[in-house]
Structures are given as C-alpha cells and as structure tokens.
Amino acid sequence: MRMVWTDAPEDDFYPARDRLVDAFTRWARRAGRDVDPFMAEVLIEQRWSVGDGRLCRWQPDDLRYALLEYFPRGVTTREWSDTIPTMHAFVDFLFDADLADAKCADADVLHAVLNGLAAAFDAAMADETRYGPAKFWSMRMLDAGINLDDQDAMSAFIADVQAGKVPYDQTVLDRVVENQLTEEDETPPALPPIDPPTAGEVADAAAESIALTRLLRFTEWVGEGRELTRGGALTPDDAAEVSALIDPASDDGAYEAALVLAWAREARFVRVVKGRLVPVKAAAKLVTDRVAAAHRAFEAFHLIGRAVCPPDDRESIVPYRADDFTFALLMAMYLAQRPIEYDELEEIVGHLADDFAGAGPGPEDAAARDVQLLLTQLDLLGAIRHDPARTSLTPFGTALFQRHLRGMGIDVPTVDDVLDETAEVVVALAADTPTIAGPLLTRWRDHRPEAAVAELRALAARTDDPEHRALAETYGGRRLASRPHAVSARRPKKRRR
C-alpha cells in the first residue's frame, strides 16, 4: 500500500484514502477494536491536504495539530468521544501492518501523546471560538435540525440568516472570522531535491549575463550623478546615450533606457537624491562581485513589472501582478526540471489571468504579450532559456530561484538532504519529478547500498502504486510480479485549505 502522498492530486489520493480506511476498519474488526472510520478518514485527509502527505510517519506535533487545530476548526459533529480511541487504534494498525516507516515516532510515544491530549481535545471541540466559519454555520444548521445533505433546506437557512431571523452570538462569530484571517491560505508545494550549480558555474554564468552587464554599465555611466526630469525619468539625450550604451541594436531605445533605470533603482545600484541620479556607495563593490549583483538584480526583477511591461490601452493585468506571474512561471520550471512547452506556458498564463480577473484588467492576449516581455528579460539575465517553442530554467536560474525561495522561508531540499530518507519518500520524489529520478535514486542507493536495496525490495512488495513499484524494482535490482491499482504521481497546483 502506498503511504506517501505528498502533493498528490485529489483524484489519486481519495481512492487511496478510502482503501487505507477500509484496511484499517477491517483490521479493527478483527482486533475487536471499536473505531470511527470517519474520524480516521479526517485524520488521514488532513495529513495530505495541509501536511506533508506522509501517512506512514507521525510525530507528536502532527497529532497535536490535528486534534487541537484541524478537528476543532473543521470537523462538524456533536459526537467526538470515539476520536481518541480511534487514533490509538490507528497507531496500532500502522505498526501491526508494517506501514509505519523508520522515522515514525514509537507507538508508545504516540499513545502517550494521545492520552495527554484527550482533555484538551474535548475542550477544543466544545469551544465555538475555535471553529472555522463553515463549521460555525454548519453547527447552527445542525442545531436547527437541518440535514446538511439537503441543499434546499441549507439555502433557506442562509436566507433566514441574511434576513436576521437566526439568532447567533456575534462575539463568537467575530472570533471565528478573526481566526480565519490569521490562518495561512495555502500550503506551498513540496519541492524536488535539486542540487544547485557549483560556485564556479554560478560565477561564470553571472559573468555572461547580458542583463546584469547592462545594469552594471548603466551604474558606471551614472558616474558622479545625472539630472533627471521632473517626472523622475532620464532626459531625452541621456536616454539615447544609455540606449546606445547598453543595446545599440535595440529598436526601442526609450523602453530599454527606462527599464534599466527602474531596474537599477529597485536593485539599489543607484538612487535619486534631490532630483539627481547617483550611485549607491555600498553597491560599488558589486561591479567586481557579479554573483552578489545578480542575486540583487533577480530580487529586484519581481518588483519592476510596470517597467518590464509598460501598461497600455490593452489593459493587461501582468504589469500590476508581475511578481506573481514571474514566481508562478519560475516555480513551474523548477518543479518540472525540464523545458516547459509553449502550450503548457499558455495554460499557466491563462490560469493566472483567470485567478486575477476580479482584481484587475484583461484580456488574455495582452497578458500573453506581457509574459513574453518578462521571459525575454529573464532570458537576458541568464535565469532561463526562452524561445517560441519552450522555456527552461538554467542552472544559474536554479541558484537564483533557490535563494529567493529560502528568503521566503520555503524549504529548498538538495539531494544531500534526502540521502538518509526512507525508500518510499525518495521513490515518491523521483516519481513526481522523472527528470531527476535516475540521479536521485542512484545517489540514494549508493549512499547505503545494502540497506537501500533491502528497503526498495520491501517497498516493491508492499506498494499498490505501479509507478513506485517499477522504480523500486529497477533500483532494488529485482523485478517482481505486477499488482493492481494504477495511479498517477502527477504534481498538482498548490492546495487551498
């Protein structure tokens, strides 16, 4: 049975959840244990929807979050007395069925935690201020005798609420809404383990970056200072001089000059003092430290959307949400670790344009035009390689993006970080990103060859995922008989809570 479902799509996860709950229920019946399958289902689903999807690995904090945060916020029920006994039984099931992995806390530890949480869980489930908004109103409906499967009755209840006919405690509702506002909206996708390029490779790429060279040339050109127009732009003569300096072949010198000015200012290479553009003294060393300059330029790029994509009468949303478009496109390339075809790129842009449709102007053709401008500049920076057919992240872009992600507090694993992981976690990572499967599994297996081969063969015998089994058999050195339950390991978009 597959037990690692990190970022798996719901069409694959839900049937697997049901199979796991069924297996648990059958085990409980044989063992003479009274359990609530629904509560087990919720526990498993929350570990996928807002956790890491590792159903084989539980730590005390995982149980605390589920029982003191997730259940009180979202599980609509007046009867929860079987929940803790069900959790105890689920722990025993995992160990008895050999589904708990080597990094799972000991069963005795988990049982002790569950015993210690029992009173706090009861109090949290009874505390209406811990509810989420959906649960708050669902509980009001239950109190009114409404069947939550009756859509007509629910609609009538909502109409009564809006008409002021349903009494409720406004103070409690205010707390419920406040809780929702302080929660994170979504969990970031788990990233594949990617090794960054070497320091020498990054330095070589920075030396060859066209966009970075333009920025540094512009900074040197500023010299002791340059007068700006009243609107903060370069004078026409200076703009022409800058255009000739950075890109003599450009057929839109005014655009190039305005862009390099905005980019250099946002990257803090230059600043404006009393109407004059002057170099930032602290940035002088960046002329010789091109790697540091490249990181600064990359961070600044996310914030200069209206310079890269000047707004016009086509009213594209991209100039105003350039950071979101840039991040989404780079993340798609990072997750895939392969070139993104034009059709895939178009689909990403279309989804983003739809997401932001209520927040600003359209249409999609204008967004597509502006995305091409973003990609062109990222290509000039050396972060990507872009042509009309496909776009891919370069090793230099990988290094820039990894540092950007870490600055956002996102975990960015490398292959070394997963060498001590279990076979199923590594196989799941390999299946999610086929382009790294070979190097990842080879290095992991070679790190501890005897134990790794044994783990892979055990996984091949246990898993019901054909793709995982094929990888485990291949790198475990033995092909086993095929089994049912074909599922996909596609990488989906981030899930909302």
Query: pLDDT by residue (tens digit) across 450-465?
Result: 899 999 999 999 999 9
The sign of the torsion formed by the CA atoms of 463, 468, 469, 475 equals negative
Between 146 and 295, whose confidence is greater? Answer: 295
Contacts of 284 (CB under 8 A, 6+ apart): none
In angstroms, rounded to a whole number, what is the distance separating the alpha carbons of residues 8 and 336?
Answer: 15
Task: Identify the residue whose tokens are 């010789």.
Answer: 288
Contacts of 429 (CB under 8 A, 6+ apart): 192, 193, 418, 436, 440
In angstroms, rounded to a whole number, what is the distance separating the alpha carbons of residues 329 and 254?
Answer: 27
Examine the pLDDT at 490 and tell me if it is beyond 60: no
Percentage, residues of the chain above pLDDT 70: 93
In angstroms, rounded to a whole number, what is the distance separating the alpha carbons of residues 304 and 151?
Answer: 47
Sheet holding 340-341, edge to edge: 340-341, 390-393, 384-386
In angstroms, rounded to a whole number, what is the distance separating the alpha carbons of residues 175 and 339?
Answer: 47
Whether the CB-CB separation of 214 and 269 falls below 8 Å is answered with no
Q: What is the mean pLDDT of the chain?
A: 89
Confidence category of residue 483, pLDDT binned at 50, 70, 90: very low
The reported pLDDT for the residue numbered 183 is 64
The DSSP annotation for 248-263 comes to: TT-S-HHHHHHHHHHH
Confidence category of residue 287, pLDDT binned at 50, 70, 90: confident
Confidence category of residue 7, pLDDT binned at 50, 70, 90: confident
Kindly report the pTM of this predicted structure: 0.80
The reported pLDDT for the residue numbered 477 is 82
Whether the CB-CB separation of 22 and 464 falls below 8 Å is answered with no
DSSP helix/strand/coil, 311: coil
What's the rounded mean pLDDT across residues 173-189?
72
The reported pLDDT for the residue numbered 271 is 95
In angstroms, rounded to a whole number, what is the distance separating the alpha carbons of residues 393 and 110?
Answer: 43
In angstroms, rounded to a whole number, what is the distance separating the alpha carbons of residues 468 and 173?
Answer: 46
What are the tens digits of pLDDT across the range 105-117?
999 999 999 999 9
Confidence category of residue 313, pLDDT binned at 50, 70, 90: low
What's the rounded mean pLDDT across residues 342-358?
82
Structure tokens at 284: 């002088």
